[in-house]
Chain A
Amino acid sequence: KNQVEQSPQSLIILEGKNCTLQCNYTVSPFSNLRWYKQDTGRGPVSLTIMTFSENTKSNGRYTATLDADTKQSSLHITASQLSDSASYICVVSAVGSQGNLIFGKGTKLSVKP
């Protein structure tokens, strides 16, 4: 069964600190993996999209990594800011799965001053 699991479920860090969020998936055949940021009550916003051949992709202070062999991805946030408080969602697409992306439940990050 195609699944995406994220950890931790929630995380609290102090402003200025770094953190890493994890995503494990069993989706096959793999097409691409995305990370989205979702502010409370708002629509998700794309941070990165990575295909099979990409190991790392950055978007400002966000860096995503992908290990297609172990089917793991991580999202590293550097020098966190209060505005980083949100849910971070890992999404995996299978080849040929038009429209049917597999969403993780997200990691809820709280950045405290």
Chain B
Amino acid sequence: DSGVTQTPKHLITATGQRVTLRCSPRSGDLSVYWYQQSLDQGLQFLIQYYNGEERAKGNILERFSAQQFPDLHSELNLSSLELGDSALYFCARTVGHKGNTGELFFGEGSRLTVL
């Protein structure tokens, strides 16, 4: 058990639509990370939140946004979806000090298919 719950597990939508992916880390975990994994590609870091604030930003498109709520769950919003956005989206938590990247524990991912 990674201590990270992601919903939905699978999502199929059409181009131009908007979706929201949800991540719930273990109670008390302050950091969440979002990653994208396209078919046969390595994981790409999107964004990190720590205690409600954006901590680090990676290769996140302007069409994508994220936030972390007071209860520490996080949502990744993907808008104006394109075929190329089809991917596995992972959320991860860390046990590192003050949200620094210690060992990462990944959720099971949300598989997004854009048709």
Q: A98 at interface (Cβ–Cβ under 8 A)? A: yes
B45 touches A89 (CB 8 A): no
Q: A84-106: which residues lie under 8 A (CB-CB) from chain B? A: 89, 93, 97-101, 103-106
Report the bound CA distance from A18 to B79 in whole Å.
46
Contacts of B48 in A (CB 8 A): 98-99
Whole-angstrom distance between the Cβ of A65 and the nearest chain B Cβ:
19
**How many residues does chain B have at the interface if contact means C-beta atoms less than 8 Å apart?**
28
Whole-angstrom distance between the Cβ of B39 and the nearest chain A Cβ:
11
Whole-angstrom distance between the Cβ of A82 and the nearest chain B Cβ:
21
Contacts of A44 in B (CB 8 A): 43, 90, 104, 106
**How many residues does chain A have at the interface if contact means C-beta atoms less than 8 Å apart?**
20
Contacts of B4 in A (CB 8 A): 43
A100 touches B56 (CB 8 A): yes
Q: A46 at interface (Cβ–Cβ under 8 A)? A: yes
B109 touches A105 (CB 8 A): no
Q: What total of A-B pairs shows CB separation below 8 Å?
A: 60
B56 touches A98 (CB 8 A): yes
Report the bound CA distance from A42 to B106 in whole Å.
9
Q: B107 at interface (Cβ–Cβ under 8 A)? A: yes
Q: B42 at interface (Cβ–Cβ under 8 A)? A: yes
Q: A11 at interface (Cβ–Cβ under 8 A)? A: no
Q: Choose the segment among B12-20, B65-73, B95-103 that binds chain A (4+ C-beta atoms closer than 8 Å).
A: B95-103
Report the bound CA distance from A103 to B103 in whole Å.
14
Contacts of B2 in A (CB 8 A): 43, 45
Q: B29 at interface (Cβ–Cβ under 8 A)? A: no
B44 touches A103 (CB 8 A): yes
Which B residues fall within an 8 A CB radius of A?
Answer: 2, 4, 33, 40-45, 47-48, 55-56, 58, 88, 90, 92, 99-101, 103-109, 111
Top 10 A-B residue pairs of the complex, sorted by shortest distance between their CB atoms = A43-B106, A99-B56, A99-B48, A103-B42, A105-B42, A103-B43, A98-B56, A44-B106, A43-B108, A100-B45
Besides A41-B111, A99-B58, A99-B101, 10 other A-B contacts (C-beta < 8 A): A43-B2, A43-B90, A43-B106, A43-B108, A49-B103, A98-B101, A99-B55, A101-B104, A103-B44, A104-B42
